A and B are shown apart, each in its own frame.
Chain A
Amino acid sequence: MSRASLGWLAADYHLPATYSCRLPLSSANSALISPAPGPATVRLALIRVGIELFGRDVVRDSLFPWIRAARVLIRPPERVAISGQVLRAYKADEDKGRVAIGESVIYREMAHAEGAMTVYFEIPLKQCGMWETLLRNIGYWGQASSFATCLEVSECAPETNECAQSLQGLGEYVLLQPFFSCILSELRDSQVAWQEVVPPEETPSKTARNPLKLEVYVWPLQVVMRAGGSTLLARSTFA
């Protein structure tokens, strides 16, 4: 399909409670978080909602080729406050084939947002209705208790300097210092296979390729306050 037949959908999400989108490479027992979901989280959420609404076959055959290849941009909320929380959790210890599960103290950052977060998704305009349905039905990002309510979906192109950018995509001579950066996941490439993303029911093989790659992303968010273990970020634009 040619670029001319593509257009941007913008979906605004209200994040009504604290949420926690864990950074890749950060331990589940000591979890650092991203101020908003990354591109792989958006794609996986669309797959999950697609299976709920249309069934696995439709998603695999019709939607997945678009979901894996479409351009995704994410504009974070206006303000994001991040606090560390000490929580009680189960911890599995595997020894000689036996898994013992005990209780442990874990650390997890939680975020609270002010203002809507916007996901921009470039889709074939002819199927606009179906993509709008998918975007409207995303109820959480990352962790299931990271609630999200879609407020509006409209045709609207992104202001790229208000959206998270990969370090490579930022280009030269962009001042990085004041902005929040972190590692995020993205699909390995636009040809990643369905079986790699949604593995078959059989026991996973050790040789399966990782469908994700890791990249450093920079968010158009600047630190406006640090207090104890908490950080307050406010949205601005890349110069």
Chain B
Amino acid sequence: MLHPPALPVYELTINVRVSWQAHSLSNAGTNGSNRVMSRRQLLADGSETDACSGSIAKHHHAVLLAEYLAAFGIPLCRACQQRDGRRVAALVEQPEFKKLSMEHILRGCGLCDVHGFLVTAKNANSQQGTEARSKLTKHSLVEFSFALGLPGHAQETLHLFTRSGDSKEGGQMLMKMPTRSGDYALLVRYTSVGIGVDTDRWQIAIVDEQQRRDRHRAVLSALRDALLSPDGAMTATMLPHLTGLEGAVVVRSDVGRAPMYSALKGDFVTRLVAMQSDTCLVYPFATVDAFHAIMQDLISSSVPCLPASCHAEQQQEGEK
């Protein structure tokens, strides 16, 4: 059980071994053929294994998060309201968004705040009549690794499907599509201290504690859902069977990194538990419901930490 009344979270990692059956969550395209290629990754032990990219998991989390943010009454920018993956960068060419500041973006959009954005710098061009623009960027606070199939525990089956062409003339064609089943090592890191913070300068843009806490709750709720209700490519007809989830949630309650250890290693939970300390809390779990319970506790009783530089400033003011 978690510590009452409120557990401060500086950073959180989810280290899991997840079992998906009959899925095709992430693919590498068709390479010009009529066969969908599954994603493969060479491991350092020399074996080649099945993989699912982190990009698709991040996209899924962002979609879920937008729903939670809207439900919690947290503002979204016009681009994120339309689920435009470019986020605020999609708006910068519009006249009313020419003078965007970091504070304005972070206060005005919970999704840009959490999943980050990149507005590129631009030099003025007198011939084209364009103004100069400063670079504005925030790293994503939620990061996903590739999900890597455990060697010897991931299999692939090819299925032959019929498919209609793009037009009537295209007719019917045959497609080979893989379904994969296996146990996957997956890591997620959530840097909660960065909620409402310009993480390039480590300056707070949102001082309202409740606002930061609501955003934090939304992020954790979406993380819980992303793991318990898998999503990705081809789920319309190949929604995966989730048959297992084990691992550890690691919470760093003060400044520092929450350790991560790959579930490709059989002893990953043991290694993480061995790193436990007063400020590094490890919550192992072996079932989907145990994971759900841990996440529910975190959602209801944790708060995002303030950046270390703010503590130093508060201390200096106190001494004065």
Contact = CB atoms under 8 A, between A and B. Distances in A.
A88 to B, nearest CB: 7
B39 A204 contact: no
A90 B28 contact: no
Given A55-B312, A89-B55, A144-B140, 4 more contacts: A14-B260, A78-B44, A79-B44, A94-B122
Given A88-B55, A90-B85, A149-B260, A16 B145 contact: yes
A17 interface: yes
B89 interface: yes
A92 B45 contact: no
Interface of chain B: mostly helix, strand, loop or mixed: loop
Nearest to A17: B145
Interface string B46-79: 1010010111000000000000000000000000
A208 B79 CA distance: 33
Interface stretch (A105-113, A157-165, A187-195): A105-113
A7 interface: no
7 contacts: A99-B120, A113-B44, A144-B140, A144-B143, A145-B145, A204-B134, A232-B44
A140 B187 CA distance: 13
A213 interface: no
Interface of B: 11, 15, 28-29, 39-46, 48, 51, 53-55, 85-86, 89-90, 92-93, 120-125, 128-130, 132-135, 139-140, 143-146, 148, 185, 187, 189, 191, 199-202, 255-257, 259-262, 307-309, 312-313
A8 to B, nearest CB: 22
A83 B134 contact: no
A139 interface: yes
Interface stretch (A46-54, A121-129, A174-182): A46-54
Interface string A48-86: 000111111000000000000000000001111111011
B93 A99 contact: yes
A16 B260 contact: yes
B128 A96 contact: yes
A87 B53 contact: yes
